[in-house]
Amino acid sequence: MTLAPRPSLGSVDIGDIDNLMMSMHRSVQHFKKALETKHAGTGEVLQDTVKFKRGKTRVLESLVGLRRYMDDILRRESGVEGRPELMKIFGDDGCSKIAALHSWTQLLNDAGQGSSIETDSRLTNVISLGHSIEEILTDLGLGKALKLAKQEAKERLQAEADAKQMAAEMRRLPRTSMFGVMDVRDGEYSPTEEVVPEMHSLPPCIMNTMKRLSMVSMLDKVESARDALDLIDTLFDVYDHDASGSLSGEKYDLAIRDFTAHVHQEASERHKRLGWAPPDWTFVENWVTEMVDPNLDGEINREEAQVGFKKAVDDIDD
C-alpha cells in the first residue's frame, strides 16, 4: 500500500506542531522552575543565576522551531482565502494552541525584563507572528473563541504555579518517608521528611539517598585517577537508571542536589573553622551546576560527569 506524502510547510512538517508545542511546554516549565528558585538574601540578581540562564537557553531554543513553523504557514497561505491550513491548525482546536503560545510568550516577556530575553529575536519574532495569526483568526470570526482560549490558557498557567506552591507547602509538613530515605533540601538533612514529590517517579534503585551521598563522599577522598573514574561511572549509572546515556530532568536535579549537599556540608565545616558565616545553599548549587554542566544545557553526559563530578568535590578542598 502506498501512503500519500504528508503535507509540509516549507521545511516544517504539519505533523510537527504537536511535538513543537510539547517541547515548548516542557521548556516553559523548566524556565518557571528558575523563576521559583529562592535567591533572596544571596545578593544575586535572578537573571544572573545559573538556573535562570539554563532555563533561558532551553526555552529560547524551543522557540526556534515554532518561529519557523508559524512563519512558514503565514507565508505559504499569504493571499489564500480563508487560510484553510492555518484554520485547521490554530482555529479548529478552539484556538488553544495559539492561546497557549500567547500565555507562554507573555510569561517570558514579563520575566525577561532587564535581561537579554526581552530583545531576543526568537521571542520577539514569535510574539509578532502570534499577533499576526491572532488577527487572522479574529478576521475569520474566531475572535470570541480566541479571547476565551487566552483566558483559559492564562488560568491554566496560574493553576500550575498554584499547584507547585501547594506541593511546596505540603513538603514542609513533617511525615514519615514512604521510601525511608533522607531528603536533602535547602542545605539541611531531614531524615524524617518525605522526599520531594517530583522524585517519586524515580525507581527505588536510586532512592537510597544515604548510599548515593556516601559514594559522593568517597569520590572526594579517592586519589587514584582510575579509582575515581570507576566510582564516577558507577555513580553515573545509578543516576542514569533508564540507561539513556545522559542525566536530564529529575535525574539531573537529583545529581545536582547530591553534589550540592556534599559540597555545602564540606564548605560549612570549613567556614566554621575559619569563623566565617555559613555558605549560601543557592550559591553552592549554582557553583556545582557550573562544574558538572559547563555548557548549562540542563543535561550531563558521561564525559562531563567524569570531569565535573571529581572537580566539584575536589575544588572545595583547595
Question: Of 55, 115, 51, which is closest to residue 288 (Cα–Cα)?
Answer: 51
Pick the CATH number of 222-315 from 1.10.238, 1.10.3470, 1.10.490, 3.40.50: 1.10.238
More confident residue, 22 or 48: 22
Which pLDDT value is given to residue 140?
92
Task: State the average pLDDT over residues 255-272.
Answer: 89
Which pLDDT value is given to residue 83?
92
Q: Residues 50-89: pLDDT tens digits? A: 777 778 888 888 899 899 999 999 998 888 999 999 998 9
Cell numbers that stand for 46 in this block = 535572578
Residue 178 has pLDDT above 70, yes or no: no
Q: Residues 206-230: pLDDT tens digits? A: 446 777 888 898 998 888 888 899 8
Q: Residues 100-157: pLDDT tens digits? A: 999 999 888 887 777 778 788 999 999 999 999 999 999 999 999 999 999 888 887 7
Q: Where are the domains of the chain?
A: 14-37+45-170, 222-315
Which pLDDT value is given to residue 31?
81
Which pLDDT value is given to residue 55?
80
Assign 169 a pLDDT band (cuts: 50, 70, 90). Answer: very low
Q: Which of 46-50, 140-144, 186-190, 276-280 has the least mean pLDDT?
A: 186-190
The sign of the dihedral angle between the CA atoms of 294, 107, 101, 152 is: positive
Which pLDDT value is given to residue 288?
92
Q: Residues 25-37: pLDDT tens digits? A: 888 887 877 776 5
Which pLDDT value is given to residue 47?
64
The sign of the dihedral angle between the CA atoms of 194, 197, 199, 204 is: positive
Which pLDDT value is given to residue 23?
83
pLDDT more than 90, % of the chain: 27
